[in-house]
Structure formats: structure tokens, C-alpha cells
Chains A and B, each alone.
Chain A
């Protein structure tokens, strides 16, 4: 039955090559922790992706309750955390996941660095990986403001003051992020839009490129 359905689609769309690229590839011995336990260092990239998926899913659920305006933002987060069933888990996953994704990405970067996996022919994938790193830091910075509590507000204020001191582009960057003179209603909606639409869009594009390149080049060989 499954084979017949697969054949029906394959006849029309020729999906076998796509399926090959997506899932039908080998896991070499030197990256497989089942053979060498020390190969767990090769898992950090996959773990980063796993937690990124958790972030996307929990973020989608958070957006069902979150209201991005300065009157209701704090109240909606508090309501989600204290009143909504499993709300504490959903916010907890997003909050701790944000830290965990940074840790995993850091470890993944170190693994790639110390195994010299960025060398020819994988230079471009390394650069894309670094861009993903910066997008993730941007997601962390913009997401930190959204609960609109004192921690969030004052950390963002300092962050924007630091951005302001960057030569030449600093003041423009600050205005772009703040949306006015003060950290207020405009800032919150801008950070919300950047956190929920702009950066995730960029992230998905970069992750797509990252994975296509891995499939095209295969994983780097043993040291």
C-alpha cells in the first residue's frame, strides 16, 4: 500500500532523488556514538537543530497568548505563566531553550573549529554557520525584551545605549531598533516583529542553506 502510494507520487514528481538527498545517506563510523562514545561531540549540531525546533514550536504556542503592547505584554506573560494550563511549561521551554540553544551552538562551533571541518571545501558552510550564530544572538537579544518586566526593560535599554556608541552606524541602528527617542511602545512592537518574523525568516533560510551544503558535501572525514 505504502509502496504503491510512493510509486504513484514518484511517477509524477520523481521524488526518489529528493528522498536520497534528504534521508538516505550514511552515518560514518567516526561520527557515530554507538561505535565510539567520544563521537558524541558530533551530535551538538543536531541538538542545536532539535532545540531550534522546540523554540519554534513553543514560540508558536506563546504567540497564542502574548500581546505585544506595553499595557498588556507583561500581563499576558504573567497570565500565561500563572493561569493557563501548561503555560508554565511552554514559557519554560522557550526561556530555557533560548539558553540551551546558545550552549549547543557554541559547542557545535567548537567541534567544527577544533576538528578543522571548516577547511576546503566547506568554507561557505562555515560562514553560513557563523551567520546563523549572529542571528541566534539577535533572537536572544530581541526576545529578552518581550516579557516587558524590569529585567527585560533595563537590559534592553543598556543594550541600545551600547549600540548607540558604535561609530557611524550606531545612532541609526539605535533609532531603527527603538523606533523613537525612548524605549517604549514602538520598541516593543519592533522587537516583537524582528523576533517573530524577520530573524526567524532569516534563520530558516540560513538553516536550509546549511543543511543543503551538508548533504551536498557530506560530513568531514575522520581526523
Chain B
């Protein structure tokens, strides 16, 4: 920062030095080669590139609207949670048996703690003078290994999610036959009492993440409907229905009657 003379004289009782430094640019000779003044030469170029980048970014925001799924519904137990993509590698790590359950400390603190701790302390772990990556193979090798692990875990988490639950984020569905939904359809009381069913099949059976059920009686017999509700089907988990067996029979009867 600014260098002040120790025996500086000050103006009046203020701390402003009476000796003023003339505002002339320094010679820029600290580095070899063709140095350039940051202000204004380099900044002007930087701003021009930034303006083009900003326009590209604005185009992205308009062409790819930010996603918004249905309002948070804590009773919707069928919703498959997925963290934001840059947390996926940590999330995936906790799915492996050697980093979960009894060994969860390894997955929570052991591996990430050592990795991030080493990152923070790398100036002291790799204290040699050599800066070129190929001249310090251990540091570079460990970093490449970490990078590979991060990319692999992120890919594995994404791949597993897509295979299990389809391409959607569990929300607005790839398999939602929205076109067939009847907007005037009103669901019966036995349906509106089941919040977790509505989470995927919609308030009026129109279907969101799960299929439309407004004419489900045409497709399935009552016994089949009951089996799907209790045992699940495809990405639909079992045991979503909450209530007595009597209510379950009423719901099955109701759904079977929809033709």
C-alpha cells in the first residue's frame, strides 16, 4: 500500500500530508515484456468483453427460465430430493456403504475434511519453491485424483437419479400427460384427503410428476389399483397411502369408478 515518510509533515492538525505525491503513472517495469496500464487501457478491453458476455448471459436467462416446482409440501413423501449440482459429489459419497452407516464419519468428515483441509493448507504442505505443475508431481497428482473423483461422483449421482426417477428433478414431470387432463374435473373427497397422492397425481387427479388418473378405471381393475397403491409401481414408492384399510378400499373403489 501507500508508502508514507516517517517524518512526514502534516497540514494543520489533520493527518493529510503536506507533501503531495504527483499523480504520474509509474513506469510499469516490475515485469518483463509488454506491460499494459490497467487503467484505462486494459479495463476498457475487459469491459467490452464483459458486455458481450453479459448479453450472452441475459439471452440464457430468457431462453432457459429458472425452474420452480410446486409449492413446498412436507407431506409429499414421494418427492425425490436432489441437492444443487455442485453439492452432488458430497451427496453421492454418502451413498456408498463404506462412507455411510457405521462409517458415516468417514463420508462426512474423513474424506471431505482431509480433502478440503489439505486445500486450505496446501501452501504449507507444498512449500517448495517450484511452481510448475510437472515439477511437483505429488501435488499435481493428488489434485488430478481429487478432480477425477469430483467429476466421477457428480456424474454417478446424476446418472443414478436419472435412471431411478427419470430426467426430471422429481417435480414437473417428463411423464406427465398434461394434455389429457380435464381442467373441469373435480376429485372426490376420498382423494382430496390424501396429500401425498396429490403430490404426484395432482389435486384433481390431473397428474404432475405421476400420471393422470382421471380415467384410471378404464385401464385397471380394482384389485390392480389396490396392488399399485400398496406395492408401488415404477418410480412410485410403496406405502404412500395414509389411512385405514377401510379408507384404502374406498379410495380403490373410487379410482376404479373413474371411466
Contacts and interface: CB of A to CB of B under 8 A. Distances in A.
A113 B76 CA distance: 44
B68 A149 contact: yes
Given A26-B38, A32-B42, A92-B65, A19 B23 contact: yes
Interface string A17-46: 111110111111110101100000000001
B104 interface: yes
B226 to A, nearest CB: 27
Given A95-B66, A151-B69, A167 B31 contact: no
Contact of A153 (B20, B33, B74): B74
Contacts of A140: 84, 86-87
Contact of A17 (B21, B68, B136): B21
Chain B interface helix/strand/loop/mixed: loop
Nearest to B100: A165
A149 B87 contact: no
A88 B61 contact: yes
Interface stretch (B117-125, B182-190, B240-248): B117-125
B58 A89 contact: yes
B61 to A, nearest CB: 3
Contacts of B169: 151
A116 B133 contact: yes
A28 B35 contact: yes
Given A30-B31, A81-B66, A95-B66, A148 B16 contact: no
Given A14-B17, A93-B57, A81 B143 contact: no
A204 interface: no
A4 interface: no
A70 B71 CA distance: 10
B210 interface: no
B68 A77 contact: yes
A70 B70 CA distance: 13
A80 B37 CA distance: 43
Contacts of B65: 81, 88, 92
Interface string A147-176: 111111111011100100111000000000
A66 B3 CA distance: 47
Contacts of B2: 17-18, 20-21
A174 B255 CA distance: 42
A192 interface: no
B61 A92 contact: yes
Interface in B92-132: 94, 104-105, 108-109, 116, 119-120, 122-124, 126-132
A13 B2 CA distance: 13
Contacts of B20: 10-11, 14, 16
A70 B143 CA distance: 42
Question: Could you say which interface size class chain B belongs to?
Answer: 35 or more
Given A32-B36, A127-B120, A150 B23 contact: no
Interface in A119-157: 119-120, 122-123, 126-127, 130, 134, 137, 140-141, 144, 147-155, 157
A26 B60 contact: no
B64 interface: yes
Nearest to A184: B74
B1 A21 contact: yes
B70 A150 contact: yes
Given A26-B37, A153-B72, A162 B94 contact: yes
A159 B108 CA distance: 12
Interface of A: 6, 10-14, 16-21, 23-30, 32, 34-35, 46-47, 50, 54, 70, 74-75, 77-78, 81, 88-89, 91-100, 102, 110, 113-120, 122-123, 126-127, 130, 134, 137, 140-141, 144, 147-155, 157-159, 162, 165-167, 182-184, 212, 215-216, 218, 220-223
30 contacts: A11-B20, A13-B16, A17-B3, A23-B39, A24-B39, A26-B36, A28-B30, A29-B36, A34-B36, A50-B53, A74-B71, A92-B61, A92-B62, A93-B58, A94-B66, A95-B61, A114-B143, A116-B136, A119-B126, A127-B120, A130-B120, A137-B87, A151-B69, A153-B74, A155-B84, A158-B81, A165-B104, A167-B108, A182-B74, A223-B131
